[in-house]
């Protein structure tokens, strides 16, 4: 393979090199010694014991013994593809991010996933789907690590281990594999009622997509965009699929789980290999960056809330096309490492307490999953921008760094690390005022409304979508062993909508409770219904 290019300081540039291990035509050891036989161990005579001195045997088996790495603690099952993102230029007024300039093309790698199942679980389970995109921009990598639902279960990352423990298989019986059908999940969401909105999305047809190609994607959090004049707006990212939004019906999902558990990844690979390249449009909802960080009374830092598209239209800013399947699942889909902190100039984070915790979590888990601190050197994770950092040594260090002074600035061989010029810099923090307030372990009061947007979602559904939601709640809650958990969840449903509650209660053979809070006064949002959703610019 072509040798990788390095700058004089050892920084990596350009495209990744071809991996070792497949050079030449004859079989060798890992040290390049040519082999004549790889099928027979060295033995003391044809019937004798195997000899410890057989280096080829030991090398072959030792390496095999260590082939597996830990699966992701969440989003373990996934499928990825390469593609290209083309910017329309429509976001130039609100962000200085270079990859959003008109006509700019950027290489991307996307990984779709389920959240809760293990690597070998079925594709068509009822669950949230991950939709993570790595943009290899020439100003540094941007990872948009989103889901196919615009809201999340919890408002504070400190609860993330709890919600995942509640959703993963029970520790004693290792049941179930999917999100559905067990006591701890319903126990959690009925006690931590901020999860009710996301759970409603899960119980809707959104929980069983027809294809990755027919899923929307959402960045969930509000981000802060910065333009070249230093002006800021708050924004939410949306992916809209060219094929429209489509789901399976429950019976299809069940059949496919048995007949073809790889249904979604097969569909993705087959489509790309047939030249039917899937496409999504990236859009943003833009909000004024006011000190309250609200829009139309909705708290933009609360990741359990949407802003209805009727109030803030999604404005298209570019197009994604997936056009190449991975060469090697492990090297690309399994070893890819996303991080919400991988941000280019012009895109900044907000104080959303879920996002703040994510900024810590991803690199921390990847240190274990990918064996140390140098996983950004793995080909799929290498930036396509030139890298010149002060990070040195560590497990799996692949670079041969030159120079005597691994710190900058230095007076020995460093040159000027910050030359004057017009290049945009990342991590130039927006000087947002941090309130003079005492330290607290508490949420703002606006985070206490847990039912109004679940009600908004329910009221926005068509009759057939409502019927599917009722059936899903009835089926999943019907799997709980503990009646008290079913009753507590019915109480939340009563607080969302009495009709929904009554229908699920009937299905469960339990009485429907009365609401304990006033029903929210919300108008349906037609854009939430999946029926009739189309490619936005057709
Ligand atoms: C992985 C999305 C919240 C921790 C992922 C992946 C996605 C995702 C798409 C899969 C990445 C891949 O394909 O490699 C989200 C979204 C969230 C959210 C949309 C909320 C809006 C959180 C929070 C935490 C967290 C709050 C922890 C505090 C993790 C971890 C992984 C992961 C540890 C595994 C990463 C790896 O092993 O590479 N998340 N997540 N996530 N997420 Fe999240």
In the 3-class helix/strand/coil scheme, how is 459-513 assigned residue by residue?
HHCCHHHHHHHHHHHHHHHHCCCCHHHHHHHHHHHHHHCHHHHHHHHHHHCCCCC
Average pLDDT over residues 160-172: 93
Q: What are phi and psi of 241, to 5 degrees?
A: -80, 140
What is the CA(150)–ligand 1 centre distance, in A?
14
pTM reported for the whole predicted model? 0.94
Ligand 1: which of 70, 73, 75, 335 to mutate, most ligand atoms within 8 Å of CB? 75
Tens of pLDDT, residues 478-507: 999 999 999 999 999 999 999 999 999 999
Q: What percent of the chain has pLDDT over 90?
A: 86
pLDDT of residue 7: 39
147 lines ligand 1 (CB under 6 A): yes
What is the band of 133 on the pLDDT scale with cuts at 50, 70, 90?
Answer: very high
Residue 462 has pLDDT above 70, yes or no: yes
Ligand 1: which of 362, 366, 369, 380 to mutate, most ligand atoms within 8 Å of CB? 362
Please give the residue that has the higher pLDDT: either 436 or 27: 27
What is the CA(73)–ligand 1 centre distance, in A?
9
What is the CA(537)–ligand 1 centre distance, in A?
30
Q: Report the C-alpha gap between 361 and 356 in whole angstroms.
A: 9
Q: Whose CA is nearest to atom 23 of ligand 1?
A: 358
Average pLDDT over residues 30-55: 97
What is the CA(21)–ligand 1 centre distance, in A?
32
Report yes or no: 204 and 501 within 8 Å, Cβ to Cβ: no
Residue 203 contacts by C-beta under 8 Å, 6 or more apart in sequence?
A: 126, 469, 472, 473, 476
Report yes or no: 118 and 174 within 8 Å, Cβ to Cβ: no
Q: Report the C-alpha gap between 308 and 103 in whole angstroms.
A: 29
Identify the bridge partners of residue 114 per DSSP, sorted by sequence position.
Answer: 129
What is the band of 88 on the pLDDT scale with cuts at 50, 70, 90?
Answer: very high
Ligand 1: which of 72, 129, 194 to mutate, most ligand atoms within 8 Å of CB? 72
Q: How many CB atoms lie within 10 A of CB 377?
A: 18
77 lines ligand 1 (CB under 6 A): no
Q: Whose CA is nearest to atom 36 of ligand 1?
A: 72
Catalytic-role residue among 40, 55, 66, 75: 75
Tens of pLDDT, residues 14-26: 444 455 778 889 9
Q: Whose CA is nearest to atom 5 of ligand 1?
A: 75
Q: Whose CA is nearest to atom 24 of ligand 1?
A: 358
Average pLDDT over residues 119-136: 97
pLDDT of residue 4: 41
Average pLDDT over residues 375-400: 96
Q: How far is CA 112 from CA 153, 381, 480, in A?
A: 19, 16, 29
Q: Whose CA is nearest to atom 10 of ligand 1?
A: 75
Q: How many residues does the chain have?
A: 538
| Radius of gyration of the chain from its Cα atoms, rounded to whole angstroms | 26
Report yes or no: 519 and 497 within 8 Å, Cβ to Cβ: yes
Average pLDDT over residues 394-408: 94
| Strand ranges inside 314-430, DSSP E | 315-324, 347-348
Q: Report the C-alpha gap between 29 and 16 in whole angstroms.
A: 24
What is the CA(359)–ligand 1 centre distance, in A?
10
152 lines ligand 1 (CB under 6 A): yes
Report yes or no: 34 and 81 within 8 Å, Cβ to Cβ: no
Average pLDDT over residues 218-241: 97
* Residue 401 annotated among the catalytic residues of the structure: no
255 lines ligand 1 (CB under 6 A): no
Quick one: which atom of ligand 1 is closest to the CA of 369? Answer: 37
Residue 97 contacts by C-beta under 8 Å, 6 or more apart in sequence?
A: 91, 137, 139, 142, 225, 344, 345, 346, 347
Average pLDDT of every residue of the chain: 93
* Residue 192 annotated among the catalytic residues of the structure: no
Q: Report the C-alpha gap between 194 and 209 in whole angstroms.
A: 24
């Amino acid at each position: 393979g072509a040798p990788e290019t390095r700058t004089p300081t050892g920084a990596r540039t350009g495209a990744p090199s071809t991996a070792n291990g497949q050079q030449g035509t004859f079989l060798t050891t890992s040290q390049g010694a040519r082999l004549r036989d790889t099928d027979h161990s060295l033995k003391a005579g044809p019937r004798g014991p195997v000899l410890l001195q057989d280096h080829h045997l030991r090398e072959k088996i030792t390496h095999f013994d260590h082939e597996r790495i830990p699966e992701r603690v969440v989003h373990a099952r996934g499928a990825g593809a390469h593609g290209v993102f083309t910017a329309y230029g429509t976001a130039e007024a609100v962000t200085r991010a270079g990859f959003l300039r008109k006509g700019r093309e950027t290489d991307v790698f996307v990984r779709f996933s389920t959240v809760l199942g293990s690597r070998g679980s079925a594709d068509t389970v009822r669950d949230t789907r991950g939709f993570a995109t790595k943009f290899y921009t020439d100003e540094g990598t941007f990872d948009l690590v989103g889901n196919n639902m615009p809201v999340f279960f919890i408002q504070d990352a400190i609860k993330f281990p709890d919600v995942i423990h509640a959703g993963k298989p029970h520790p004693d019986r290792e049941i179930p594999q999917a999100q559905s059908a067990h006591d701890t999940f319903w126990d959690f969401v009925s006690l931590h009622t901020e999860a009710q909105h996301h759970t409603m999305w899960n119980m809707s047809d959104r929980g069983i997509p027809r294809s990755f190609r027919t899923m929307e994607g959402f960045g969930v959090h509000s981000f802060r965009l910065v333009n070249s004049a230093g002006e800021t707006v708050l924004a939410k990212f949306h992916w809209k699929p060219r094929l429209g939004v489509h789901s399976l019906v429950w019976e299809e999902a069940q059949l496919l789980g048995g007949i073809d558990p790889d249904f979604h990844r097969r569909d993705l690979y087959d489509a790309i290999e047939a030249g039917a390249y899937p496409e999504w449009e990236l859009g943003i909802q833009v909000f004024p960056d006011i000190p309250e960080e609200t829009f139309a009374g909705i708290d933009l830092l609360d990741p359990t809330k949407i802003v209805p598209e009727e109030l803030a239209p999604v404005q298209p800013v570019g197009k994604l096309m997936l056009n190449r399947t991975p060469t090697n699942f492990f090297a690309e889909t399994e070893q890819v490492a996303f991080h919400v902190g991988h941000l280019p100039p012009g895109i900044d984070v907000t104080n959303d307490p879920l996002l703040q915790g994510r900024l810590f979590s991803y690199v921390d888990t990847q240190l274990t999953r990918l064996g140390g601190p140098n996983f950004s050197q793995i080909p799929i994770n290498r930036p396509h921008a030139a890298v010149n950092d002060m990070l040195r040594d560590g497990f799996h260090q692949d670079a041969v760094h030159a120079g005597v002074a691994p710190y900058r600035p230095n007076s020995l061989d460093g040159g000027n690390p910050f030359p004057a010029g017009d290049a945009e810099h990342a991590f130039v923090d927006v000087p947002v005022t941090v309130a003079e307030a005492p330290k607290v372990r508490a949420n703002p009061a606006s985070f206490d409304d847990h039912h109004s947007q679940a009600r908004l979602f329910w009221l926005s559904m068509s009759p057939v979508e409502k019927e599917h939601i009722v059936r899903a709640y009835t089926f999943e809650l019907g799997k709980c062993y503990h009646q008290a958990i079913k009753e507590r969840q019915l109480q939340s449903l009563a607080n969302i909508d009495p009709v929904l509650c009554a229908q699920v209660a009937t299905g469960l053979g339990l009485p429907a409770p009365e609401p304990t809070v006033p029903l929210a006064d919300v108008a349906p949002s037609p854009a939430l219904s999946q029926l009739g959703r189309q490619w936005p610019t057709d």
